[in-house]
Amino acid sequence: MINKTIFRKAENLHQQLTDELEKIERENSSSLRISELSLFKIDEAIKKLKALIVNFEFECAADEIYFFKNVKPLFTSKFIYHSKVIKILMYKPAAGEEAQRSYFTKEIEKLTTYYTENAEFYSYYRRDATFLDQKYFRRRMYDLKMALPSGLYDYDEGFTTSHDIKIAHIISNEYLEAYLLNAMNNVGQFHVGNTFKFPLVWSSSKVSLVELLYALHQTRCFNGGNIEFSEIVKATEKLFEIDLGNSYKTIGEIKSRKNGRTKFLQSLNDNLNQLFIDGDE
């Protein structure tokens, strides 16, 4: 029962964090500013999560493993992701399309290098293997014969296992790769000029717009389905003069919603149905 309470609190904390990060993206167009503000919120959430867990003794090993394998990385991966985005943007070449593409390519190569260096654990994680979970995801149970993080002794052993940080890096790298590919595609893109001003302004959230675009893309509503989603996003950004940020990361967050993944689409459906019902009365 106590474990269920802890997991419920962690789930509520993650949902609150997700809502706050979505709000930041709605209210800011600068990727750098979004990541800076997001880091503060994520840091606050991780501190609250740590306060729940650091002195908590799980009732069984399975619950402890589940927390450090599936729950904590949801928070720490976001912190790693936004930290890396800030660093990437700070050192990005200010001008030159070729220089910028080369820069983003090298950043993607770093992700490939990390994958190569951790291929064995990647395989373990992707296969949903469990035979080493007792050593990987329980506190104070690490095996010195295994490859361990160099800074393991600097971590708080009440809130750290030997490999939960590796899962956080895997999740973060997936989002970061999508971000970098999107950034490469956007190099050299131009916005609508003064010769034409589109009369409509998107006034709902950016997350909602990405959700709508992705649904239309999956239903093959554009070019008979013969178009990349990134091209749809770029065209929409140009039309509305809006920066949708890392749309693939947004889709990942939509997929991870616990309740009502397609909140915006459901809202559209409910509002339209209600309009028809009111008209019939």
Burial classification of residue 173, based on how many CB atoms lie within 10 Å of its CB (0-12 exposed, 13-18 middle, 19 or more buried): buried
Q: Is the dihedral of CA 137, 141, 146, 150 positive or negative?
A: positive
Do 62 and 7 form a contact (C-beta atoms < 8 A)? no
pLDDT of the residue at 244: 87
Residue 176 to residue 80: CA distance in whole angstroms: 10
Q: Which of 207, 196, 193, 186 is nearest to 260 (CA)?
A: 207
Does residue 205 contact residue 26 with C-beta atoms inside 8 Å?
A: yes
User: Would you say the C-alpha torsion 58, 80, 260, 23 has a positive or negative sign?
Assistant: positive
Angle at 28 (CA atoms; ends 25, 29), nearest 5 degrees: 100
What pLDDT does residue 192 have? 44
Helices H / strands E in the chain, number of each: 12, 0
The string of pLDDT tens digits covering residues 79-90 is 999 999 999 999
Q: Read off the pLDDT band of 195 (50, 70, 90).
A: very low
In the structure, what pLDDT confidence band is assigned to residue 94 with cuts at 50, 70 and 90? Answer: confident
3-state SS, one letter per residue, for 253-280: HHHCCCCCCCHHHHHHHHHHHHHHHHHH
Q: In the prediction, which pLDDT does 20 show?
A: 92
Mean predicted confidence (pLDDT) in 189-203: 61
State pLDDT tens for residues 99-149. 988 999 999 999 999 999 999 999 999 899 999 999 999 987 766 555 555
Highest mean pLDDT among 40-49, 94-103, 152-161, 233-242: 40-49
Segments making up each domain of the chain, as ranges: 1-186, 206-280
